[in-house]
Structure 1
Amino acid sequence: MHVLIVDDELLARNRLRVLLSDCEDPSAPFLVSEAATAAQALDVLHRTKDHHPVDMIFLDVQMPGQDGLRFAQTLRSLPRPPAVVFISAHAMYAANAFEVEAVDYLTKPVRPDRLQQAVAKVRRLYALEQKAPATMSMGSAAALLIRDRGRTERVPLHQVIYLKAEQKYVTVRTATRSYILDNSLTELEGRYPLQFVRIHRNALVTREQMRSLEKHYTEDDGEGWALRMHAVPELLMVSRRQLSAVRAIMNQPHIQVQPEMA
């Protein structure tokens, strides 16, 4: 993985380079480049694009010349934008950073555990990108912004398996963990009509993650239907009202419907 560190402070670049050495996979060590300004970073991106393109940029927010936020906007116009992780001494720019589709936001001094989390997140994104349609590049994919205790995290939409209403909030489920979101299901359904399918008044699921429709029995509801998703073990109940719409989607070749039992 080619990593570019963009920071006008030499000591900050040196420290981050040392910390990155502890995040390396021995079988695939990092190629690390450095730049002190956005202009120098663009030069690195141009010189390496054909043989070792930059995969991830650690980007300072406040720099001489073009600042990190404006530079991140420039990166989005590239054919293959690198993943951006912002690094700043100030937490107040976090919301702006995620508006330009940053993968993560770290505050100085950077903690080794948070750096490892950011690197792992980028690796997962690239792994998912290999499986995603070619039109869904990491730099342009839509995302949900999760805000929790002063921290904002960007969850790419193609990682979401389902959304489930829980009292006054929505649970966002991915293959690796769950998040809490303040938006309503109705709002999310209207914003992403091609991404999600309503299967119940309290649940939306991602079309591509639907695996099978199965007969299911619960003591509370009796016999009914449940949807099994890829990558997670839990079953999601399908309401009678939504069953016909879900069945129509089940006709797609990659989704299976369990035969009804006599």
Structure 2
Amino acid sequence: MPPPGSSVSPLKILLVDDEPLARDRLRTLLGDIAGQLPSEVVGEAGNGLAALAFLREQPVDVVLADIRMPGMDGIELAGHLGSLEQAPAVIFTTAYDNYAVQAFDLNAVDYLLKPVRAQRLLTALQKIPAVPHLDPALLASIGREVRGGGRSHLSCHERGRLLLVPVNEILYLKADLKYVTARTVEREYLLDDALTHLESEFAERFIRLHRAVLVARAALAGFERAAGDDAEAYGWALLRGVPEKLPVSRRQWAPAKALVKNS
């Protein structure tokens, strides 16, 4: 880190915590250590969604993020941050010590237990120049432990912008070459996630219809058999809200139909 009086710009920091008092404390602590490490709080957010909305307009050097927040927690936020063109470093803050944070290599990313202390915050911030991108697999694993399930949103890059797709609005996921298409009632989105990874992460929400298709359980409206000369599918799944039909393989025909019958 540059010494006091250096001409290097201060670290630009975004505070993300659903508790205003926690954000106020961090502001105070950053002021206390300003002589050793100049910084500027350029924004605040109450959860991960608000943080990403801010970062679309203004990049920062560091995000200080609470782990447990409504709407989008800090672990999921960190995963989406890695998709930004100018990805900031992330330091987690938490009131709990049981979220497997010890799994993080502290030379790569740090975490602070609340109540945060000034010297501990300074130590964490001094690691920032060496912080690489966070490990997506590790984030996913810890994220499932924190929230008890998969992400609330998936990332989509479109015309240089990061879009968030709410998982509960996705009707189906369809693989095509190296991309996966997520379909909502309104439109389609191209994702970078692998279909097999999405199937594992959201096993409670989606079922497999075909080697290239996952469908939301709640989106299934019915089925119809394919014509005898139809080589694409053994049958077709009918959906709620959109006119498309999805191919169903012979192997998945009976399990999928049983799901609708028992729902």
Q: TM-score range by the shorter chain?
A: 0.3 to 0.5
Normalising to structure 2: TM-score of the pair?
0.48
